[in-house]
Structure 1
Amino acid sequence: MRLISFILPLLMVLSFSTNSVAASHPFSDVGDDFWAKDEINYLYQNGIIKGYEDGTFRPNHTVTRSQAATMISGALKLDLENRPAPPFVDIREDDPDYNVIAALADEGIITDRDGEFTPNAPLTRGQMAAIFKRAFQLEGHSGHEFSDIREGHSFYDEIQALAANNIVKGYAEDNTYRPNDSMSRAQFSAFLARVLDDSYQPANGELEIHHLNVGQGDSTLILTPNGKTILIDAGTQSAGQKVVYYLKQAGVSSIDKLIITHAHADHVGGAVEVMKNFDVSLVLDSGIPHTTQTYLNYLMYIDDHDIPFEVAAIGGSINLDPALTIQIVNSGMPGDRLNDGSVALHLTYNEFTYLITGDAEEKSEHRIVEQFQVESDVLRVGHHGSRTSTTPYFIKNVLPKVAIISYGEDNRYGHPHPEVLELLTAVGVERVYGTAGGDVVLVSNGEDFEVSGGNLIRDETPKPPPEDEVMYPININTADFETLQYITGVGPTIAQRIIDYRTIHGSFTSIEEIKNVSGIGDVSFERMKDEITVG
């Protein structure tokens, strides 16, 4: 009773409350997880922004031309005294920003619009480019053409100068710049910080996702293009030191987000060891508690060391890198068991997409598909490849090209289950990797991606067109190893199994008999039946 009376209040406090990180800036509406928090703080620390009297910054409000002028003036540290009157009919000497506008006009940084400055009008992205180019003497041509900005556009040279200096990237989904769109105060702050300090510029680097070999458990490290770190789960308690060693070898010095998908020991067990070795800015949890000592130790460590803790909210986002969209597509809901409450994330990096679902099972997989678009290039397969996850309805909506399964070699559960591997092949997954053979590392530049390491459980990568056209239907009794791979759904692994089967059992007597080959089920057979014959 004494233990229970201690556990329950602790679970209630930690599972349903939020701690906020103390920030250097004073703005009550710029939280630790706000995407431009670092840039806003940088500008505040350098005396460029002050915010409002009520202690807010109002980051999502539209930035006006007058506000932009004030920030530019502060960044340039302009002398505001003894400037000639600005040439704008709508700016009077008693206006609060008169001296700032006069100084920027005198420097040739701002110009009139038909004799007016229109100080309260929203600043557009095109106007921002023009002001930045003049204020900071930016030059260059990026070599990248935006689909909505052609040569001859009024802001073409200015936008190209910003792109050449890695200040702007445009919108990845349609390769536009959108010069007529107004800007928020946060967006303007982010661009201004990039001009003043290139450490805030969007990384031209790569996204890395490391799936650690922690035995029968899960631990995934995400290194964002701008150098932020996300650790999803930490394996069992005995795997904690392995996780710590791996992170240190990868150059990790702190963790921006530690995400514990759910409270089972093979996901949360190593978390305390990780928190002992790294500063953690925020722990994100499913909010579904467990009464094991392992989970209790994890909560107690968070509480004792005042580590910020939040419950993941379905539909929320993790905003660490402006190049990435990371959406929370599942978390704990009333009535969920631990597995179905797993925190699941869908990540988008330009053209590349990735989905990780913890141990989410059929109930939550259905919930995910019903609420979100989760088609993905790569799927970190749920629940170690158990048949309780990766259901047909789910996988037919995700349609990954590559799947990665975290499991321990010769585990007592038989993971990954054969029917899961068959289903992955049936929906067109080309390669399936496992962590039982080592750490699996995925690297993407936002367009292409590469996967290396681990053990290749299945490789169904389509073969290139043959020099001499293959004649269909292919005789599965006589076709060689290479020719068999021109059958839909047949890669090197399945081709060898077909050969092994006919060596042991003799010739196939019907095309339906091919379903006796491991990895070929009803779905696979329907895709290949018109391409094969037995004689």
Structure 2
Amino acid sequence: MSLPQMPSSRNYRLAAARTLALAGLLALAAFGAGTAWADGVQQALPPWTDGYLYIHHISTGRGNAAYIVMPDGTTMLIDAGESDPEFVKSVAPLKAFPPLPDGTHSSGYWIANYIRQFAPAGRPVALDYALITHFHTDHIGTIRPTSPMSATGAYRLAGITEVGDLVPIKTLVDRAAPNYTVPVDIRACAKSNGDDGRSLANYLDMVAFRKGHGEPVVGLQPGQLDQIRLQQAQKFPDFHIRNIASSGVIWTGRGTDTQQYIPPDAIKDCHFDENPLSNVIRISYGKFSYYSGGDIPGVPDYTQPFWRDIETPVAAVVGPVDAMTLDHHGNRDSTNGAILRALRPRVIIQQNWLSAQPGEEVVVRMASQEFYPGPRDVFATGMSPETRIAIGPIMDKIYRSYGGHVVLRVAPGGSTYEVFILNDADQTREVIKRFGPYQAH
């Protein structure tokens, strides 16, 4: 969660002057141009059944969380964030989104509540895998003085630690297990890095508890195919998850070979940015493919080293996909031309929680036909009114929805897929828009 560059003061003065006047218009436009579900009557999302792949991008207004139900019912959560209020204060006048569906509970509680609602029926609710892309609080959760203790007494509850107490996690996967020494001693850094460090230290307390009780905690291994795998892999031989990158090591595209892209001596102390070290994966199901890259950047500024551009070498081995989630929430240091040229996504999901997301340059790049031809549909889990005002009409050319849970529903075999937008303002989470079907590549 690095500090984004702030839009100009002129744009913010304009936003302040026009936000109230356009609020009603934005609310009406938020549903995009998709097909109304049953003539505007809200209905439930079709339940998961055998053979379908569901990818739920959960809207909490506070960070990233994606819940995946694979074709055989194997489940995985990617991140469980809850943004740090102190960080938000430090980047004022940028604004965080309001908590969703409301602030009566933490994001960890609401993520677990969401999982319970959409978990495969007829089996115990659990997560076969929880994948943490990196150790920023909008991906793991923020510990506050009021955060309650786990029933175990070993750690406090926020983000992924709270989800894990409410929904059993069978295997926890992150970027640094088992030793937590890459790029430096992460445990030592956690003790010296203030609020962020306390949240990371709390996560490591959960890791230690799990290890002490024989519960698996493993590091993502770049280049590996199906380290994260189906329970019934033989039933769906065309479903795979390829590990693309982790902690600055990137798959070469050949077998399981990797390259050390970030030089091993490039980071020498605790003052480093987690984002380039994020876990990156590619999910494939028949013709369908999906990319998730955590917060990897792709647009370093002039004072930064070459390896701050992780997107370009990652893009070279990922190749075309049908759908992707934007790196780094769509902040302006992400989504460079190389990744758009290589991935050519038909559907783009933006998991965002701050008014700086997306950067205007990112929107321009996504909309450009120069990087790749053809239509593209962008779906955001939220959007600040002032952001839409500042960036302007170009957003409406590519964005189809500006708020709600974004669910990809891939048909058995992976030849077609749909996008559903669910109401994020209450616990019913009914469908408010449907898009597709799209043909997979």
User: Scaled by the length of structure 1, what TM-score is found?
Assistant: 0.45
Q: Secondary structure at the match of 2:319?
A: coil
Residue in structure 2 matched with residue 256 of structure 1 by the alignment: 128
Query: In structure 1, what is the Cα distance between the partners aligned to 2:362 and 2:202?
Result: 34
Asked if 1:273 corresponds to 2:181, the answer is no
- Aligned-pair CA distance for 1:415: 0.4
Deviation readout 1:410-467 (Å, 9 max, x if unpaired) = x24x101122122112134521000111110010011111011169xxx999xxxxxx
Residue in structure 2 matched with residue 349 of structure 1 by the alignment: 285
Query: In structure 1, what is the Cα distance between the partners aligned to 2:320 and 2:375?
Result: 12
CA pair 454-421 structure 1, distance change in 2 beyond 3 A: farther
- Aligned-pair CA distance for 1:367: 2.4
- Aligned-pair CA distance for 1:406: 0.5
Structure with more of its chain in helix, by fraction:
1
Name the amino acid aligned to 2:58: L
Asked if 1:243 corresponds to 2:111, the answer is yes
- Aligned-pair CA distance for 1:373: 3.4
Residue in structure 1 matched with residue 78 of structure 2 by the alignment: 232
Name the amino acid aligned to 2:246: S
Query: In structure 1, what is the Cα distance between the partners aligned to 2:175 and 2:435?
Result: 35
Count residues with an aligned counterpart: 252
Aligned ranges 1:319-398 → 2 under 5 Å: 319-320=229-230, 322=233, 323=236, 324-333=239-248, 334=264, 335=266, 337-362=273-298, 363-370=309-316, 372-398=317-343
Deviates more, 1:203-212 or 1:322-331: 203-212
- Aligned-pair CA distance for 1:216: 3.9
- Aligned-pair CA distance for 1:361: 0.9
Task: Flag structure 1 segments of 5+ consecutive residues without an equivalent.
Answer: 1-202, 462-535
CA pair 460-244 structure 1, distance change in 2 beyond 3 A: closer
CA contact (8 A) 2:129 2:170 kept: yes
Q: Secondary structure at the match of 1:230?
A: strand
Query: In structure 2, what is the Cα distance between the partners aligned to 1:406 and 1:429?
Result: 20
Deviation readout 1:360-386 (Å, 9 max, x if unpaired) = 11222122124x133100011111111
Q: Secondary structure at the match of 2:72?
A: coil
User: Which structure is larger by alpha-carbon Rg, 1 or 2?
Assistant: 1
Q: Secondary structure at the match of 2:310?
A: helix
Identity percentage of aligned residues? 30
Asked if 1:211 corresponds to 2:76, the answer is no
Deviation readout 1:444-496 (Å, 9 max, x if unpaired) = 011111011169xxx999xxxxxxxxxxxxxxxxxxxxxxxxxxxxxxxxxxx
More relative contact order in 1 or in 2 (CA 8 Å, sep 6+)?
2
CA contact (8 A) 1:346 1:374 kept: no
- Aligned-pair CA distance for 1:305: 3.1
Structure with more of its chain in strand, by fraction:
2
Name the amino acid aligned to 1:207: L
CA pair 385-216 structure 1, distance change in 2 beyond 3 A: farther
CA contact (8 A) 2:171 2:217 kept: yes
- Aligned-pair CA distance for 1:205: 2.2
Query: In structure 2, what is the Cα distance between the partners aligned to 1:449 and 1:219?
Result: 21
Query: In structure 1, what is the Cα distance between the partners aligned to 2:283 and 2:365?
Result: 23
Q: Secondary structure at the match of 2:289?
A: strand
Query: In structure 2, what is the Cα distance between the partners aligned to 1:450 and 1:401?
Result: 11
Deviation readout 1:21-77 (Å, 9 max, x if unpaired) = xxxxxxxxxxxxxxxxxxxxxxxxxxxxxxxxxxxxxxxxxxxxxxxxxxxxxxxxx
Task: Flag structure 2 segments of 5+ consecutive residues without an equivalent.
Answer: 1-48, 84-105, 142-158, 177-181, 191-196, 249-263, 268-272, 299-308, 383-402, 424-433, 437-441
Name the amino acid aligned to 2:343: V
- Aligned-pair CA distance for 1:242: 1.0
- Aligned-pair CA distance for 1:255: 0.8
Query: In structure 2, what is the Cα distance between the partners aligned to 1:308 and 1:429?
Result: 42
CA contact (8 A) 1:443 1:450 kept: yes
CA contact (8 A) 1:210 1:440 kept: yes
Aligned ranges 1:116-265 → 2 under 5 Å: 204-236=50-82, 238-251=106-119, 253-265=125-137
- Aligned-pair CA distance for 1:358: 0.6
Query: In structure 1, what is the Cα distance between the partners aligned to 2:217 and 2:418?
Result: 34
CA contact (8 A) 1:342 1:360 kept: yes
Q: Secondary structure at the match of 1:256?
A: strand
Residue in structure 2 matched with residue 285 of structure 1 by the alignment: 174
Asked if 1:302 corresponds to 2:204, the answer is no
CA pair 405-454 structure 1, distance change in 2 beyond 3 A: farther
Query: In structure 1, what is the Cα distance between the partners aligned to 2:221 and 2:82?
Result: 25
Q: Secondary structure at the match of 1:282?
A: strand
CA pair 364-429 structure 1, distance change in 2 beyond 3 A: farther
Asked if 1:417 corresponds to 2:322, the answer is no
CA contact (8 A) 1:347 1:355 kept: yes
Query: In structure 2, what is the Cα distance between the partners aligned to 1:257 and 1:429?
Result: 34
User: Scaled by the length of structure 2, what TM-score is found?
Assistant: 0.54
Question: For the aligned residues, what is the CA RMSD?
Answer: 2.3
Query: In structure 1, what is the Cα distance between the partners aligned to 2:310 and 2:222?
Result: 11
Aligned ranges 1:395-414 → 2 under 5 Å: 395-408=340-353, 411-412=354-355, 414=356
- Aligned-pair CA distance for 1:325: 0.8
Query: In structure 2, what is the Cα distance between the partners aligned to 1:204 and 1:284?
Result: 25
